[in-house]
Amino acid sequence: MNGVKDLFLGFGTMMTLIVAIGAQNAFVLRQGLRRHAVARVVAVCALSDAILVAVGVAGFGAIAQAFPRAITVAAVVGGIFLLGYGFLAARRAFRPSALNAGTRTSGRPVLTALALTWLNPHVYLDTLLLLGSIAAGRWLFGVGAVTASITWFVALGFGARLLSPLFARPRAWRVLDGLIAAVMTTLGVTLIAGW
Of the pLDDT bands very low, low, confident and very high (cuts 50, 70, 90), residue 103 is very low
Residues in the chain: 195
Task: Give residue 83's domain range.
Answer: 2-99+106-194
CB 190 within 8 A of CB 80: no
The rounded distance, in Å, linking the Cα atoms of 56 and 186 is 27
The rounded distance, in Å, linking the Cα atoms of 78 and 119 is 5
pLDDT of residue 113: 93
DSSP 94: H
pTM here?
0.73
* Number of domains, the chain: 1
Scanning the chain, the segments in alpha helix (DSSP H) are 2-18, 23-34, 38-55, 61-66, 68-94, 109-118, 121-123, 132-135, 139-159, 170-194
